[in-house]
């Protein structure tokens, strides 16, 4: 059959394979992921479920550290082991079956216990983007956490016991430019229009246009005109209160054309204008969070080693203090609205042009700083992206797991406050900590083979943890009883749930997109509830 | 294996030790009916039949999860075949499998990996299977991306409900229904006890309406790149018929997508619109929903946990709807979705419908199928004459269908009072 034979901008095989996720984090996010290298300590079901959802989307490489031998129980709960894996090294077997998922991913297995690596070859961990650890004992957790804190490598610590699970992210700081907020604020500058915008808006005469075009006036123009009319009666103020905003809505209603019987003609753009009044009239301001970011020490005390993020923050501060007159660069994004093509595109180009000009100024400041301090080069595209998202920049300042484990006074106060609320998810946290303490004291999980007999022993651990945070013992033993019932069992579907969540957190850390959990996530599959705590 | 029977029994016991701890020990939070015993695992393994609807992003995960939660009598239905773009999350498939049946491939893989698992594949649409098929299951779990298919399945499970003479529900006819769905980083999981808790129809407003563009915008005042693509798809394709008049657009044919992409780009340039890309073109043509392995894994796992609870009573079920978003931290929220007292699918209540005196059974049947208030799939119609039940029409059972087909032509006042469920 004759075909028009278009010269296809043929997508690569890889683009097709990853299409559904590229729509979430883009080609640049994918490139970052492909440069990522994840280290997993302990390939239990939780560990392999995490790696599964990192290998499938195409991380660069994985390394599994595991010195254990595959048991029957492992085979029963872990999909990435098979019957023939029995008695072989768990990490090597899991690696083999995980790599089948995606031939683009490279992998290594290291058959040594993590303690030994920490002692003999701590440099080993330096090259990883993220280290993920499951099923570690209290002592190793603290040694590993301290070391990774020192060498500034992010750590995600995970647990899965019975119906309970948790993960804790430790990293010093994590800056996110593309947070992808669900409801992004618009940035229209109606209160402080830039020159090109005010020229355009002031030239627009909505009474002069014919009826057809009247229905195609963008609501931005309508609201601006309504505000101007309102200001002529209100000493050039800005409508802030609900009453004032209603006055604006009434003015907009007056603008609506009437038919020969004086009945208002339904015009979609005017209806949109009335709906948009509340959000469009929010004054343009520098968000407090962004202000804090621009004036924090990392942004004010730059050095040769400053990360590009901080160099851009410093340049942005220069813009805000200077050309921006206290405001951030224009986002350059126009929401969709009923309008003729000409009106809409004209307006959109005004915003885009201004955004490009603002970003250009910031970029010049970046170049100056880079030249002065000889720090890492930053591309113009990166600065543009940074300016586009300047309103939603996010910085996560982490805390050391060791501090949490030592239950120092601020951690203790935090825990006891939640226990008093009372917050049952914090009870689960205590139970997980107590079970870990039990494990290190008795070298087995509570209830491993004697659920009844272990209740009092576990209760002693719970009481110890509670007294360390100055809390009285739990009035009832039911959570202790339940933990002993679990007997350290790893339930596949609970691990699979946590595996999915943890994998995405690791991907967030590598791609530097979307906000990660700050910093502890607890999940109770029995009640299907979860909570996030910032220790 | 030469190691002998006893050895393998011991291995089996050890292999399932994790689950046995939950099932053979009592717990303070388990369901009131729960009595720990070794027989529960036997039931899960040897008797409990679970139907998994869909072998895509959620379905692959569900099959793996349930096989490792001890279930062996698993059935999987999916009419689709494997595509390259599935491989970033549908982890039971490889490049060599492209073009093969998802259900068959998934089942083959899991049966091989998890010894003892006896999953059965059905490479067909859910509508191809009849009442008798659905009735055999203890639990149905669904991971579909289509609301229409979900509603059909919901209707099917509701139609299996039996009511006692006092209009109370016959509990033995209830097949619990666990449903999961994902979209990008968002997802939901829920447990439906047909006739007892909120069903899909009760909560239809929880599904966001599909985004559409008005035709006049597409034709006269395009503003967005999507408008240009829709224009080519809706108007220009039919006008120019680049592959002959009988060829509809195929979003999977790169030549078609490229044609639309280039025409849309021309239109965009003409109107000063930017950002028409190949990816966006394909997204609009196929109505692509972003999808990632992690969300699917988490939602499917949540559904699998609920299936396990239903089968074992070792813990109470979620009540009854969980939403999740992992874009900003990890957020979950579980709430009790409420039944609609007059839900046409799951309530056994009376709804008055006015009909013309000369309406035929066909008129009534069509109304039940087409009226948005009912949207029933092959409703059965019965009546009571002199205190006795009489079936007027039933399409799902072939012999009854044949026997009752002629009723369609009769006017309803000759048939008697009519009821339907
Ligand atoms: Zn209902």
pLDDT digits over A284-336, tens only?
Answer: 999 999 999 999 999 999 999 999 999 999 999 999 999 999 999 999 999 99
Six token digits for residue A236: 């050039």
**Which of B67, B92, B297, B311 to mutate: most A Cβ within 10 Å?**
B297
DSSP A342-364: HHHHHHHHHHHHHHHHHHHHHHH
On whether any CB of chain A is under 8 Å from the CB of B241, the answer is no
Query: How many angstroms is it from B338 CA to the middle of ligand 1?
Result: 9
For the residues B326-335, what does the mean pLDDT come to?
A: 98
pLDDT value for A6? 45
- Convert the pLDDT of each residue in B159-202 to its tens digit: 999 988 888 899 999 999 999 999 999 999 999 999 999 999 99
On whether any CB of chain B is under 8 Å from the CB of A211, the answer is no
Q: Is the pLDDT of residue B400 over 90?
A: no
Phi, psi of A513 (to 5 degrees): -125, 150
**HEC string of chain B?**
CCCCHHHHHHHHHHHCHHHHHHHCCCCCCCCCCCCCCCHHHHHHHHHCEEEEECCCHHHHHHHHHHHHCCCCEEEEECCCECCHHHCCCCCCCCHHHCCCEHHHHHHHHHHHHCCCCCCEEECCCHHHCCHHHHHCCCEEEEECCCHHHHHHHHHHHHHCCCECCCCCECHHHCCCEEEEEEECCEEEEEEECCCCCCCCHHHHHHCCCCCCCCHHHHHHCCCCHHHHHHHHHHHHHHHHCCCCCCCCCCCCCHHHHHHHHHHHHHHHHHHCCCCCCHHHHHHHHHCCCCCCHHHHHHHHHHHHHHHHHHHHCCCCCCCCEEEEECCECCEEEEECCCCCCCCCCCCCCCCCCCCCCCCEHHHHHHHHHHCCCCCCCCCCEEEEECCEEEEEECCCCHHHHHHHHHHHHCEHHHHCCCEEC
Query: How many angstroms is it from B195 CA to the middle of ligand 1?
Result: 7
Q: Is the pLDDT of residue A345 over 50?
A: yes
pLDDT value for B414? 60
On whether any CB of chain A is under 8 Å from the CB of B332, the answer is yes
For the residues A250-267, what does the mean pLDDT come to?
A: 90
**Could you tell me the strand order of the sheet in which B177-183 lies?**
B120-122, B73-77, B49-53, B139-143, B177-183, B186-192, B321-325, B331-335
On whether any CB of chain B is under 8 Å from the CB of A442, the answer is no
Look at B243 and B351; give whichever has higher pLDDT: B243
Residues 48-87 of chain B with CB under 8 A from chain A are 61, 64-65, 68-69, 84-85, 87
For the residues B324-336, what does the mean pLDDT come to?
A: 98
Sign of CA dihedral B282, B283, B285, B286: positive
Query: How many angstroms is it from A44 CA to the middle of ligand 1?
Result: 41
Q: Is the pLDDT of residue B1 over 70?
A: no
Distance CA A420, CA A497 (A): 29
Q: Is the pLDDT of residue B421 over 50?
A: no
On whether any CB of chain A is under 8 Å from the CB of B330, the answer is yes
Six token digits for residue B128: 């191809």
Distance CA A53, CA A79 (A): 13
Distance CA B403, CA B399 (A): 6
pTM (predicted TM-score): 0.93
CB contact under 8 A, B297 and A500: yes
pLDDT value for B3? 46
For the residues A150-161, what does the mean pLDDT come to?
A: 98
Question: Is there a cis peptide before residue A519, judged by omega within 30 degrees of 0?
Answer: yes
Instruction: Please write down the long-range contacts of A473-477, taking CB distance under 8 Å and 24 or more positions apart.
Output: A474/A427
B132 Cβ partners below 8 Å, 6+ apart?
A: none
**Which of A20, A166, A353 to mutate: most B Cβ within 10 Å?**
A20
Please name the member of B25, B61, B302 whose beta carbon is closest to the beta carbon of A451. B25
Do the strands B139-143 and B49-53 form a parallel or antiparallel pair, or are they unpaired?
parallel
On whether any CB of chain A is under 8 Å from the CB of B208, the answer is no
For the residues B288-305, what does the mean pLDDT come to?
A: 98
Distance CA A236, CA A382 (A): 39
- Convert the pLDDT of each residue in A103-132 to its tens digit: 999 999 999 999 999 999 999 999 999 999
DSSP letter at A176 equals: E
**Which of A18, A19, A427 to mutate: most B Cβ within 10 Å?**
A19
Is residue A16 within a helix (H) or strand (E), and if so which, with residue range? helix A13-17
Q: Which residues of A touch B221 (CB under 8 A)?
A: 216, 338-341, 344
For the residues A234-253, what does the mean pLDDT come to?
A: 93
Cα dihedral: A350, A351, A356, A359 (round 10)? 140
pLDDT value for A425? 96
pLDDT value for A242? 94
pLDDT value for B413? 58
- Convert the pLDDT of each residue in B39-60 to its tens digit: 999 999 999 999 999 999 999 9
On whether any CB of chain A is under 8 Å from the CB of B318, the answer is yes
pLDDT band at A2 (very low <50, low <70, confident <90, very high): very low
Look at A146 and B11; give whichever has higher pLDDT: A146
Please name the member of A16, A481, A516 whose beta carbon is closest to the beta carbon of B28. A481
Six token digits for residue B384: 């009571």
pLDDT value for A403? 96
pLDDT value for A78? 98
Q: Is the pLDDT of residue B409 over 90?
A: no
For the residues A155-181, what does the mean pLDDT come to?
A: 97
> For chain B, what is the mean pLDDT?
90
pLDDT value for B32? 87
Residues 284-313 of chain B with CB under 8 A from chain A are 288-302, 304-306, 308
Residues 166-195 of chain A with CB under 8 A from chain B are 179-182
With a pLDDT cut of 70, the percent of chain B lying above it is 91
Distance CA B222, CA B54 (A): 38
For the residues B203-207, what does the mean pLDDT come to?
A: 87
For the residues A419-433, what does the mean pLDDT come to?
A: 95
Q: Is the pLDDT of residue B329 over 60?
A: yes
Give the closest residue to B16 by CA, choosing from A495, A491, A371.
A491
Q: Is the pLDDT of residue B139 over 60?
A: yes
Sign of CA dihedral A141, A167, A55, B140: positive
Six token digits for residue B386: 């002199």
For the residues B211-237, what does the mean pLDDT come to?
A: 94
Q: Is the pLDDT of residue A213 over 90?
A: no
- Convert the pLDDT of each residue in A367-393 to its tens digit: 999 999 999 999 999 999 999 999 999
For the residues B370-375, what does the mean pLDDT come to?
A: 70
CB contact under 8 A, A53 and B297: yes
* Ranges A394-403, B67-76, B163-172: which has the least confidence: B163-172
CB A30 within 8 A of CB A476: no
Residues 254-293 of chain A with CB under 8 A from chain B are none
Instruction: Looking at the complex, report in whole angstroms how far the Cα of residue B73 sits from the nearest Cα belonging to chain A.
Output: 17
pLDDT band at B212 (very low <50, low <70, confident <90, very high): confident
Q: Which residues of B touch A482 (CB under 8 A)?
A: 27-29
Give the closest residue to A496 by CA, choosing from A32, A48, A26.
A48
For residue B219, give the chain A residue with the closest CA. A341
Positions of B marked catalytic: 216
> How wide is the angle at C-alpha A164 spanned by C-alphas A162 and A168, nearest 5°?
135
For the residues B327-354, what does the mean pLDDT come to?
A: 88
Phi, psi of A254 (to 5 degrees): -65, -30
**Which of B304, B330, B335 to mutate: most A Cβ within 10 Å?**
B330
For the residues A409-425, what does the mean pLDDT come to?
A: 94
Please name the member of A18, A100, A532 whose beta carbon is closest to the beta carbon of B329. A532
Please name the member of B64, B243, B308 whose beta carbon is closest to the beta carbon of A79. B64
Instruction: Looking at the complex, report in whole angstroms how far the Cα of residue A370 sits from the nearest Cα belonging to chain B.
Output: 32
């Amino acid at each position: 059959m004759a075909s028009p034979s278009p010269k296809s901008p043929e997508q690569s095989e890889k683009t097709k394979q990853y299409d559904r996720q590229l729509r979430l984090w883009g080609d640049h996010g994918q490139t970052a992921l492909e440069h990522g290298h994840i280290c997993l300590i302990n390939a239990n079901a939780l560990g392999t479920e995490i790696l599964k959802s990192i290998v499938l989307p195409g991380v660069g490489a994985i390394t599994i550290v595991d010195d254990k031998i595959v048991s029957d129980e492992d085979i029963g709960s872990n999909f990435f082991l098979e019957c023939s894996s029995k008695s072989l090294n768990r990490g090597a077997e899991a690696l083999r079956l995980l790599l089948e998922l995606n031939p683009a991913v490279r992998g290594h297995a290291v058959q040594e216990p993590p303690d030994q690596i920490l002692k003999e070859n701590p440099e080993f961990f330096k090259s990883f983007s993220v280290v993920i650890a499951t099923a570690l004992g209290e002592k190793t957790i603290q040694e590993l956490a301290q070391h990774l804190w020192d060498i500034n490598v992010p750590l995600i610590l995970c647990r899965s016991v019975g119906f309970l699970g948790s993960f804790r992210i430790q990293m010093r700081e994590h800056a996110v430019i593309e947070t992808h907020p669900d409801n992004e604020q618009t940035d229209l500058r109606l209160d402080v229009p830039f020159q090109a915008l005010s020229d355009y808006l002031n030239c627009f005469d909505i009474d002069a246009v014919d009826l057809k075009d009247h229905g195609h006036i963008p609501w931005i123009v309508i609201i601006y005109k309504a505000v101007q009319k309102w200001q002529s009666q209100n000493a050039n103020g800005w409508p802030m209160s609900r009453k004032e905003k209603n006055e604006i809505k009434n003015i907009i209603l007056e603008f609506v054309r009437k038919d020969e019987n004086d009945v208002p003609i339904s015009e979609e753009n005017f209806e949109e204008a009335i709906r948009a009044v509340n959000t469009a009239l929010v004054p343009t301001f520098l968000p407090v969070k962004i202000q804090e970011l621009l004036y924090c020490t990392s942004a004010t005390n730059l050095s040769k080693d400053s990360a590009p993020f901080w160099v851009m923050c410093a340049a942005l501060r220069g813009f805000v203090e200077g050309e921006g007159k206290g405001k951030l660069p224009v986002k350059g994004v126009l929401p969709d609205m009923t309008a003729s093509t000409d009106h809409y595109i004209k307006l959109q180009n005004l915003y885009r042009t201004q955004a490009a000009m603002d970003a250009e100024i910031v970029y010049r400041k970046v170049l100056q700083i880079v030249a002065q301090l000889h720090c890492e080069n930053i591309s113009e595209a990166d600065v543009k992206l940074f300016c586009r998202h300047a309103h939603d920049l996010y910085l996560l300042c982490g805390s050391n797991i060791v501090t949490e484990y030592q239950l120092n006074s601020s951690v203790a106060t935090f825990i006891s406050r939640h226990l008093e609320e009372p917050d049952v998810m914090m009870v689960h946290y205590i139970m997980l900590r107590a079970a870990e303490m039990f494990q290190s004291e008795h070298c087995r999980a509570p209830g491993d083979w004697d659920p009844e007999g272990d209740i009092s022993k576990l209760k002693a651990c719970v009481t110890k943890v509670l007294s360390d945070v100055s809390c009285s013992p739990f009035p009832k033993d039911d959570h202790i009883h339940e933990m002993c019932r679990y007997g350290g069992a790893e339930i596949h579907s609970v691990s699979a749930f946590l595996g999915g969540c943890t994998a995405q957190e690791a991907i967030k850390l590598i791609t530097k997109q979307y906000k990660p959990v700050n910093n502890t996530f607890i999940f109770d599959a029995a009640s299907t509830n979860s909570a996030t705590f910032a220790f | 294996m030469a190691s002998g029977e006893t050895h393998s029994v011991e291995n089996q016991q050890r292999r399932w030790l994790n689950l046995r701890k939950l099932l053979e020990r009592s717990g303070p939070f388990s369901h009131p009916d729960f009595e720990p015993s070794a027989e529960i695992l036997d039931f899960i393994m040897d008797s409990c039949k679970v139907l998994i609807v869909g072998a895509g992003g959620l379905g692959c995960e569900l099959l793996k999860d349930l096989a490792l939660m001890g279930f062996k009598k698993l059935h999987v239905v999916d009419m689709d075949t494997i595509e390259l773009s599935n491989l970033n999350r549908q982890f039971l498939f490889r490049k060599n499998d492209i073009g093969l049946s998802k259900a068959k491939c998934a089942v083959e893989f899991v049966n091989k990996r998890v010894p003892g698992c006896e999953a059965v594949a059905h490479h067909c649409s859910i509508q191809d299977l009849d009442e008798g098929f659905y009735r055999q299951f203890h639990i149905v779990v669904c991971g579909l991306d289509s609301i229409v298919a979900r509603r059909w399945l919901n209707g099917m499970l509701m139609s299996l409900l039996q009511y006692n003479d006092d209009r109370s529900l016959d509990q033995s006819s209830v097949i619990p229904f666990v449903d999961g769905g994902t979209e990008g980083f968002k997802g939901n999981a829920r447990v439906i006890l047909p006739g007892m808790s909120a069903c899909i129809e009760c909560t239809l407003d929880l599904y966001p309406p599909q985004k559409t563009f008005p035709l006049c915008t597409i034709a006269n005042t395009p503003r967005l790149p999507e408008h240009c693509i829709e224009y080519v798809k809706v108007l220009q394709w039919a006008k120019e018929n680049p592959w002959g008049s009988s060829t509809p657009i195929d979003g999977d044919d790169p030549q078609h997508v490229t044609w639309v992409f280039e025409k849309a780009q021309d239109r965009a340039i003409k109107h000063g619109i930017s950002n028409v890309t190949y990816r966006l073109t394909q997204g609009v043509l196929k109505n692509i929903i972003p999808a990632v392995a992690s969300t699917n894994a988490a939602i499917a796992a949540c559904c699998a946990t609920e299936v396990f609870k239903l089968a074992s009573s070792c813990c109470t079920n979620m009540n009854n709807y969980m939403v999740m978003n992992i874009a900003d931290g990890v957020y979950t929220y579980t709430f009790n979705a409420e039944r609609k007292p007059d839900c046409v699918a799951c309530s056994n209540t009376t709804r008055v419908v006015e009909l013309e005196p000369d309406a035929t059974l066909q008129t009534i049947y069509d109304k039940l199928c087409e009226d948005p208030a009912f949207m029933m799939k092959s409703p059965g119609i019965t009546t009571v004459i002199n205190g006795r039940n009489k079936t007027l029409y039933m399409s799902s059972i072939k012999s009854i269908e044949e026997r009752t087909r002629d009723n369609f032509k009769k006017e309803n006042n000759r048939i008697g009072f009519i009821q339907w469920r």
